[in-house]
A and B are shown apart, each in its own frame.
Chain A
């Protein structure tokens, strides 16, 4: 699903150049649930941003679902993001003047799905994350966990090939974190490929594979036995 070869990325800050990713080789198969771990500054978010076409790579190659991702203009990148990827952010990034339903329907709007069909679909995804009753509420009326579930529903609504989550539990307490992880595991169970950036070991242990990043290189990449989040959720 994801193929990365010899990926380099630097940020230029004034006269200094900061070499963040120093040759990453990495591939993900369909249906995997991968945790990318590392301390702050290890380059894990940068990697995720490049995977998400939110940022561009300097060197190396990246292909997604056998489509080479290079030299994309913004329009093409936007179309690929819309078609291939769903995002979940630490700070939820819901549009605050739109209701939960409208937020979930937004990627479908950019896929040019008709209004009625869009709302039917969006409501189905909200139901999947258990927030059907909250469809007409604004994000400000939702709790942190609920917001993140809306964000996950939104990411899923476009039926992406890969779901990218950047510290999805970073702003949540542990109970809510487990609820969100339970949801992510269930989505993965139904065959979706998911990448999670996290620095919390217990979250990483709920994935099927953990990739450790340190100073811009992969230091460890192992398959683990998944800890089910459902046992913590009552």
Chain B
């Protein structure tokens, strides 16, 4: 059935019936092409969502103080809640089993100078564990450590772009910079995948910041990293009890929406991922629709092809073609065309996707891609159903009496 002679016969037929070949090939190639591109866009959408969250750790709560809106336990409403060092210590003491780390964060803008260069940057006064919460990557030198906190050192870890702005190509490690009027020694340079803004921060020990601000113990924000092992459900439970604990300590009504805020990254990520998954399912559904449309298209063409060839098949049968050889003539031709054009369409689709890269980022599609397995699977499905769709009319044609087929004009 697959002798060289057979193939020669099939190639001859393909070569001499160009329109037919083009029609069926085009249908299949287009179907696969659209499928690959749509599916790739779906993946690009998910990439975008992942990127939004990819630069930060996901096992993190950000706790912000707010202003109360309800009176509670004798306290008036409209009271500004403030965190201080004791809150940090209490959280650490009460939630040991959930906690991986905690860090405060005090954010201040400051004019920063080095030699003749100066610029405004945001400083974050933090504890060493902050590095894990933001997934800060140290490029040169080191990050803040516990000794710096204890000794209230005037050390600074600067972002990659701060280094670039102030130092150019010069190595900043060991140099002194002026931050808001006091000199800090640069001990490290970091990068962050969160983008340019994230790389314009300057990290200093929170105790140093507190010392400068009249030896206060106030904290802007508390960042709590929990053990990833507790999972999504554990994180939600931790979220709730942390909320209750702080409200209790700070005398905030449990019904007050704005006394404190806990931003639960894990929860947000999960919701957004679910949204992305739903979008991808919709896109995949449309993509499979195109495959179905392709199958219907190829089926129609096969019916047409067999109809067009009825007389020829009659002649072949009169000359001694067996039903089997009639079926294989039609089917091999169709399978060859669908395979060839299917893979052509697939490669064209993959080519388009990979040339796309970041160009569609404005439309929330980042690095669209399709894994080769899915693409090949879809192509095979189309080939398979194309073959089945071709088999039915081919079988019917093979069983037509040659005398009937010969009469066909």
Q: Is the CB of A158 within 8 A of B323?
A: no
15 A–B contacts, CB within 8 A, in A order? A49-B403, A54-B401, A54-B402, A54-B406, A75-B322, A78-B322, A81-B319, A94-B315, A95-B312, A95-B315, A97-B13, A98-B12, A106-B316, A107-B320, A115-B8
Q: Is the CB of A74 within 8 A of B399?
A: yes
Q: Which residue of B lies closest to A92 (CB)?
A: B315
Q: Is the CB of B318 within 8 A of A54?
A: yes
Q: Which of B311, B319, B322, B325 contacts A107 (CB 8 A)?
A: B319
Is A38 in contact with chain B by the CB < 8 A criterion? Answer: no
Contact with B along A31-46 (1 / 0, CB 8 A): 0000000000000000
Is A26 in contact with chain B by the CB < 8 A criterion? Answer: no
Q: Which of A49, A55, A110 contacts B319 (CB 8 A)?
A: A110
Cα–Cα distance between A116 and B201 once the two chains are bound (Å): 80
Q: How far is the CB of B288 from chain A (nearest CB, A)?
A: 37
Cα–Cα distance between A55 and B316 once the two chains are bound (Å): 15
Q: Is the CB of B403 within 8 A of A111?
A: no
| Neighbouring B residues of A97 by C-beta, 8 Å | 13, 16-17
Q: Is the CB of A54 within 8 A of B320?
A: no
Is B193 in contact with chain A by the CB < 8 A criterion? Answer: no
Q: How far is the CB of A225 from chain B (nearest CB, A)?
A: 33
| Neighbouring A residues of B398 by C-beta, 8 Å | 74
Q: Is the CB of A78 within 8 A of B317?
A: yes
Is B279 in contact with chain A by the CB < 8 A criterion? Answer: no
Is A82 in contact with chain B by the CB < 8 A criterion? Answer: yes
| Neighbouring B residues of A114 by C-beta, 8 Å | 5
User: Which B residues form the contact surface with A (CB < 8 A)?
Assistant: 5, 8-9, 12-13, 16-17, 311-312, 314-325, 398-399, 401-403, 406
| Neighbouring B residues of A79 by C-beta, 8 Å | 320, 322
- Given known contacts A97-B16, A109-B5, is B319 in contact with A54 (CB within 8 Å)? no
Q: Which residue of B lies closest to A74 (CB)?
A: B323
| Neighbouring A residues of B318 by C-beta, 8 Å | 52, 54, 81, 87, 93
Q: How far is the CB of A144 from chain B (nearest CB, A)?
A: 17
Q: Bin chain A's interface residue count.
A: 20 to 34
User: Which A residues form the contact surface with B (CB < 8 A)?
Assistant: 49, 52, 54-55, 74-75, 78-79, 81-83, 87, 89, 93-95, 97-98, 102, 106-107, 109-111, 114-115, 154, 158
| Neighbouring A residues of B322 by C-beta, 8 Å | 74-75, 78-79, 110
Q: Is the CB of B323 within 8 A of A93?
A: no
Question: Known contacts A78-B322, A111-B320; can you find 15 more A-B pairs with CB under 8 A?
Answer: A52-B318, A74-B323, A78-B317, A78-B321, A78-B323, A79-B322, A81-B320, A95-B312, A95-B316, A98-B12, A106-B316, A110-B322, A114-B5, A154-B319, A158-B320
Q: Is the CB of B321 within 8 A of A110?
A: yes
Q: How far is the CB of B14 from chain A (nearest CB, A)?
A: 11
| Neighbouring B residues of A107 by C-beta, 8 Å | 319-320
Cα–Cα distance between A144 and B320 once the two chains are bound (Å): 24
- Given known contacts A55-B401, A89-B406, A109-B9, is B324 in contact with A75 (CB within 8 Å)? yes
Cα–Cα distance between A163 and B13 once the two chains are bound (Å): 28
Q: Is the CB of A93 within 8 A of B5?
A: no
Q: Is the CB of B406 within 8 A of A93?
A: yes
Q: Is the CB of A110 within 8 A of B324?
A: no
Cα–Cα distance between A114 and B3 once the two chains are bound (Å): 11
Cα–Cα distance between A75 and B323 once the two chains are bound (Å): 6
